[in-house]
């Protein structure tokens, strides 16, 4: 999971955006409600893009961290355990 902001993750931003999109599908929204939700959705997208380039305490940005392969072979993990490969 790629951290985007203190405690917030890319999937969390996506979940908020998807919730707004689902609410926008409701036919009984007033024009004002629809405009507010569209503004909220745009703000969430802009925030996610903006914080994706803020350096993490470790140094790289969240985008840089997400660009690194996340797969770790089990043999590598096994060798890191106390006792190594047995």
Domain ranges of the chain: 3-80
Instruction: Using CB atoms within 10 Å of the CB of residue 56, give its burial: 0 to 12 exposed, 13 to 18 middle, 19+ buried.
Output: middle
- Are the C-beta atoms of residues 41 and 20 closer than 8 Å to each other? yes
- Specify the pTM: 0.53
- Are the C-beta atoms of residues 8 and 51 closer than 8 Å to each other? yes
Q: What is the pLDDT of residue 5?
A: 45
8-state DSSP, 59? S
Band the pLDDT of 4: cuts 50, 70, 90. very low
Tens of pLDDT, residue by residue over 14-44, are: 888 899 999 999 999 999 999 999 999 999 8
Structure tokens belonging to residue 78: 């096994």
């Amino acid at each position: 999971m790629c951290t985007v902001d203190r405690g917030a993750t890319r999937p969390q931003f996506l979940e908020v955006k998807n919730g707004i999109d689902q609410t926008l599908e409701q036919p009984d929204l007033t024009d004002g409600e629809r405009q507010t939700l569209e503004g909220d959705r745009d703000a969430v997208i802009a925030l996610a893009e903006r914080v994706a380039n803020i350096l993490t305490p470790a140094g790289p940005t969240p985008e840089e961290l997400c660009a690194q392969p996340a797969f770790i072979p089990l043999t590598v993990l096994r060798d890191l355990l106390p006792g190594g490969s047995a």
